[in-house]
Amino acid sequence: MPLATGVHFNRLAKAADCIAIAAAASLPLSTSATAILIVAWLVVVIPTLDVAALRRDVLSPAGGLPVLLVLLGVAGTLWADVSWFARWKGLDSFLKLLVIPLLLVHFRRSDRALWVFGAFLAACVVTLLASTVNFATGTQSTGIGGNPFLGVPWKNAATQSGEFVICIFGLLYVAIVAFERRLWWRLVAAVAIALAMLLNIFYVATGRTALVVIPILLVLLAIKKHSAKAFLVLVVSAVLIGGIGWWSSSYLRDRATQIVTDAQRYEQTNERNSSGERLEFWKKSTAFVTEAPVIGHGTGTIPSLFAAASAGQSGAAGSATTNPHNQTLGVAIQLGFVGALVLWAIWIVHLLLFRGGGLVEWIGLVIVAQNIVGSLFNSHLSDFGQGWIYVFGVGVAGGVALKNRAAQPS
């Protein structure tokens, strides 16, 4: 039995729904507010949890594998050759995964999952409006890391465009269903918001990872709808819109081609630039994994390993980092192939969790697929914003998916 029962249970469960909705709304806007709301959600939801239900989801692949990765991270502190402060700081990137089974339990019984995703969409629309005003007035905001961005009112271009991609594909699903059911106002609204966000990515703030994610999600959407006609319409629309965007936006072309030119300059002159640093981080990360392939160097060792490898070097080779910009390498450096296998098992299990139909399941699939693709170029699961989007997306949508699956006949 949960600690709270009767009236107290109902009040706490409703409060947990409201705080989860507020936390989802805060994700695109503020890291501090998100952190505070997550702590508040945990305080409110824990007394409502049934031990048997929690055990069930912790022992399931969807909820148990994230817990296993956290336990490996805790174990990794034992063989890390760095200070205990560094070890526990390195563990921070794993701990958020413990919230996934709690969300699964809560949203199996809650009917407000769509409110959570609606709040996230509303916050992204606010971000879109602020970005448009910011760009139109030429106002540069100071985002994460203290760097000025034009058209990015908070956080950074990569985070903003990633959030917009989630909204775009959620809205595309809504638009397709609205078209099938002849709900014309809903169709127009969904397409208008999705197109406005896509134009923002093309002309205002382009996250280059988003450009890789978009075509992959288009294919997934066509597969999800099981329609050759839908696939043809999506492909033609994507080619048309992408072609217009490429032809009309010099900013988009520059952002895309900069990857190649930066990489070439790095190879020729060891120039320190964005693409060159990434290639250097991946090269060094691969060497670190080779040195300790099975269980890694231990939790929290990434900063010290890169600091030692970059000492006395110049250019891109002299860049030290706390983030290898690849999630698999980030886990493998610390926990070896054992940790990397658990990481990929988590992604695969969560993909399979959302194989059912419905809007919520589609949103969960979008979030998992985006995280997998984005984590090829970034450590998205370890990052605060993208990591919590994944945790909330999988936890909330996963709870609904599990509830729907339990309601179906064997």
> Does 217 map to a domain?
no
3-class state of residue 149 by DSSP: strand
Question: How far is it, in rounded angstroms, from Cα 174 to Cα 202?
Answer: 22
> Does 171 map to a domain?
no
Other Cβ atoms within 10 Å of 396 Cβ, number: 30
Question: Within a 13 Å sphere around the CA of 102, how many CA atoms are in the beta-carbon half?
Answer: 22
- Tell me if 336 sits within 8 A of 295, measured CB to CB: yes
Closest CA to 99 of 73, 65, 63, 69: 63
Strand partners, 149: 141
Q: What is the pTM of this model?
A: 0.92
Q: What is the pLDDT of residue 191?
A: 93
> Does 410 map to a domain?
yes
Burial of 61 (0-12, 13-18, 19+ CB in 10 A): middle
Q: What is the dihedral of CA 98, 103, 104, 105, to 10 degrees?
A: 100
For residue 296, the enclosing domain spans 52-109+275-410
3-class state of residue 5 by DSSP: coil
Closest CA to 401 of 193, 104, 66: 104
> Does 128 map to a domain?
no
Other Cβ atoms within 10 Å of 342 Cβ, number: 19
- Tell me if 335 sits within 8 A of 76, measured CB to CB: yes
Q: How many domains does the chain have?
A: 1
> Does 199 map to a domain?
no
Backbone angles phi, psi at 140, to 5 degrees: -95, 120
Alpha helix (H) residue ranges in 5-112 = 6-26, 31-45, 51-58, 61-76, 84-95, 99-109
Question: How far is it, in rounded angstroms, from Cα 247 to Cα 201?
Answer: 14
Positive or negative, the CA dihedral 319, 322, 328, 334 is positive
Backbone angles phi, psi at 146, to 5 degrees: 80, 10
Burial letters 192-218, b for 16+ CB under 10 A, else e: ebbeebbebbbbbbbbbbbbebbeebb
> Does 175 map to a domain?
no
> Does 1 map to a domain?
no
CA geometry: angle 176, 26, 21, nearest 5 deg: 65
Q: What is the pLDDT of residue 229?
A: 67
> Does 250 map to a domain?
no
- The answer for residues whose C-beta is within 8 angstroms of residue 329's C-beta and 6 or more apart is 282, 285, 286, 289
Burial letters 137-160, b for 16+ CB under 10 A, else e: eeeebebbeeeebebbbbbbbbbb
Residue-by-residue pLDDT tens, the chain, 410 positions:
565 565 678 899 999 999 999 999 999 999 999 999 999 999 999 999 888 989 999 999 999 999 999 999 999 999 999 999 999 999 999 999 999 999 999 999 999 999 999 999 999 999 999 999 988 887 766 555 445 678 889 888 889 999 999 999 999 999 988 988 999 999 999 999 999 999 999 888 888 888 889 888 988 888 887 666 666 776 777 777 777 766 776 666 776 677 677 767 766 776 677 777 888 889 999 999 999 999 999 999 999 999 998 887 777 777 778 889 999 999 999 999 999 999 999 999 999 999 888 899 999 999 999 999 999 988 999 999 999 999 999 999 999 999 988 777 65
